[in-house]
């Protein structure tokens, strides 16, 4: 099939041609005609399948006729992270270059002033993260009753990040008579329930079985002691033909540690996580996309759905806590039919997490050994027993050693001892001491406690709240209202309307 058969207008087709696309991807082929017909669409598609163009291309055509009024956006795209929102905005610019559509990007971490000015001028396409959208709405900066097309992208991620109450609230503020496009990489029951509530008689389009990694990604796993993970990573980076790579860590703190360690060892590495100020996140991502940085150490949230052309590798410095994240992480490579390689560095405590991934993707990740580095075993009761399942390692000359063979504390290299002594002496350790030194026992214990805490899974709502605070407007200090009195507090209270049937709003 070719693009001109999908029913798109000539300007959009010209922009596609200039972008160099020759054929629609399967999600585009399936979704675009339905969107153009005004139907609701429920799309089950991973990132990397071309789903962004699947909704932006027809939206541009739909919005081409009509004009936006001040403060009354005509369409709304909700994205879980700022980076994804910025990426969708970029797509709109690329595909909409032969149209005169106004677009506003409302994301946390940027000043309100510019965003408000744009809203005042009238926008056809509003691309937003849920928190910032609600903030601006509550300040009285916009009305949402002219929204004709709503896109909820990465719905499963929204759920994971605790945005669902916000999404429900936003949807309750929109006109009932609208077109809704709902995309998710996976369709757990909670997402299905939301889709049922938000969509009317949708056309379902699915382009890959939920949570299946792309066949173009070669996967492997190494299992080492916790303190050897950085060494394992460096070995992989040196022996693999890495053009550019994402290196995922589970905790933001580790993102900084791993990035500094890599830099200290002469690698060209940047960091991306939710605690960084937005301008720094944008700048780092730009450097990475331009190739000025070749390795990007990142957290899941910062990197989710990021589209970097031709990413050669993904490294999981930590096994992800949620099995679905494994699929999302490794899906950053092997995109658009290209080949990619994904390596996961597991520690002895990760057996259960690894088993959960194997269950999800319905196969074991092949284990490899690293020459010169002692392999570990999963701890008792931590899932798959042994390093290599039932088989032998595919390469490497290291022999398996049991727990009793592990180096005892007094056998640790001198460098580590020096680093510890330096700490006691209250002088900064030398650089190589800092980088190789394993964490002090107390800190490791704290990490373990945090990990088991995470594994125990607190009630979803609490977890969601916490994550949302963490990841959405996390770089803005919480200062209450200060001297500022929000506009909504100054308006006279109106009587609350009777709830109507099907209203899914929730007080937040």
Contact residues toward ligand AMP (CB under 6 A) are: 21, 23-25, 28, 47-53, 307, 309, 335-336
Tell me how far apart the alpha carbons of residues 232 and 461 are, in angstroms, rounded to a whole number.
Answer: 37
In the complex with ligand AMP, which residue's Cβ is closer, 30 or 250? 30
In whole angstroms, the minimum distance from the beta carbon of 25 to ligand AMP comes to: 5
Task: Give the largest CA-CA distance in the chain.
Answer: 76
In the complex with ligand AMP, which residue's Cβ is closer, 25 or 225? 25
Burial of 381: CB neighbours in 10 Å, binned 0-12, 13-18, 19+ = exposed
In the complex with ligand AMP, which residue's Cβ is closer, 281 or 328? 328
Phi-psi region of 396 (alpha: psi -120 to 50; beta: other; left: phi over 0): left
In whole angstroms, the minimum distance from the beta carbon of 259 to ligand AMP comes to: 25
In whole angstroms, the minimum distance from the beta carbon of 8 to ligand AMP comes to: 12
CB contact set of 492 (below 8 Å; sequence gap of 6+): none
In the complex with ligand AMP, which residue's Cβ is closer, 125 or 451? 125
In whole angstroms, the minimum distance from the beta carbon of 55 to ligand AMP comes to: 9
Q: How far is CA 385 from CA 203, 352, 369, 376, in A?
A: 44, 10, 16, 11
In whole angstroms, the minimum distance from the beta carbon of 303 to ligand AMP comes to: 12
Q: Pick from 426, 421, 372: which is nearest to 399 by CA?
A: 372
Tell me how far apart the alpha carbons of residues 103 and 141 are, in angstroms, rounded to a whole number.
Answer: 16
DSSP letters spanning 121-136: H--SEEEE-HHHHHHH
In the complex with ligand AMP, which residue's Cβ is closer, 305 or 348? 305
Q: How far is CA 415 from CA 72, 361, 440, in A?
A: 63, 41, 14
In whole angstroms, the minimum distance from the beta carbon of 51 to ligand AMP comes to: 5
In whole angstroms, the minimum distance from the beta carbon of 214 to ligand AMP comes to: 11
- For residues 269 and 295, the answer to whether their CB atoms sit within 8 Å is yes
In the complex with ligand AMP, which residue's Cβ is closer, 307 or 436? 307
In the complex with ligand AMP, which residue's Cβ is closer, 209 or 277? 209
């Amino acid at each position: 099939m070719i693009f001109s058969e999908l029913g798109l207008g000539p300007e959009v087709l010209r922009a596609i041609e200039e972008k160099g696309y020759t054929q629609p991807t399967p999600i585009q082929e399936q979704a675009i005609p339905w969107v153009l017909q005004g139907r609701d669409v429920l799309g089950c598609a991973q990132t990397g399948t071309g789903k962004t163009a699947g909704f932006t291309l027809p939206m541009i055509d739909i919005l081409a006729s009509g004009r936006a009024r001040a403060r009354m956006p005509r369409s709304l795209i909700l994205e879980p992270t700022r980076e994804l929102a910025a990426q969708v905005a970029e797509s709109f610019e690329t595909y909409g270059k032969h149209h005169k559509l106004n677009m506003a990007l409302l994301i946390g971490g940027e000043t309100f002033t510019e965003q408000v000015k744009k809203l005042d001028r009238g926008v056809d396409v509003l691309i937003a993260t849920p928190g910032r959208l609600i903030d601006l709405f509550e300040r009285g900066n916009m009305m949402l009753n002219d929204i004709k097309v709503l896109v909820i992208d990465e719905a499963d991620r929204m759920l994971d990040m605790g945005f669902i109450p916000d999404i429900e609230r936003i949807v309750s503020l929109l006109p009932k008579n609208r077109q809704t496009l709902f995309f998710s990489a996976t369709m757990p029951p909670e997402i299905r329930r939301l889709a049922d509530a938000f969509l009317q008689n949708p056309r379902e389009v699915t382009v890959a079985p939920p949570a299946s990694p792309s066949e173009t990604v070669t996967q492997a796993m190494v299992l080492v002691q916790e303190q050897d993970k950085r060494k394992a990573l460096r070995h992989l980076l040196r022996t693999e033909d890495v053009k550019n790579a994402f290196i995922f860590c589970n905790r933001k703190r580790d993102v900084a540690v791993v990035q500094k360690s890599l830099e200290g060892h002469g690698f060209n590495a940047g960091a991306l996580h939710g605690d960084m100020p937005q301008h720094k996140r944008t700048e780092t991502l730009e450097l990475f996309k331009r190739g000025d940085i070749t390795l990007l150490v990142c957290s899941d949230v910062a990197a989710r759905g990021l589209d970097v052309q031709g990413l050669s590798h993904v490294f999981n410095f930590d096994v992800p806590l949620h099995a679905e994240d494994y699929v999302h992480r490794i899906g950053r490579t092997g995109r658009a039919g290209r080949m990619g390689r994904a390596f996961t560095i597991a520690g002895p405590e990760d057996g259960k997490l690894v088993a959960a991934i194997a269950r999800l993707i319905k196969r074991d990740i092949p284990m490899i050994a690293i020459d010169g580095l002692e392999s570990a075993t999963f701890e008792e009761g931590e899932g798959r027993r042994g390093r290599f399942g039932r088989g032998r390692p595919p390469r490497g000359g290291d022999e398996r050693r049991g727990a009793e063979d592990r180096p005892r504390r007094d056998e640790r290299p001198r460098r580590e001892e020096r680093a510890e002594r330096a700490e006691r002496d209250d002088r900064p350790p030398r650089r190589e001491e800092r980088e190789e030194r394993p964490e002090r026992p107390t800190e490791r214990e704290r990490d373990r406690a945090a990990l088991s805490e995470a594994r125990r899974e607190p009630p979803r709502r609490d977890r969601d709240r916490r994550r949302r605070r963490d990841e959405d407007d996390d770089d803005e200090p919480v200062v209450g209202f200060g001297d500022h009195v929000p506009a909504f507090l100054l308006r006279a209270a109106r009587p609350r309307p009777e709830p109507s049937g099907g209203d899914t709003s929730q007080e937040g």
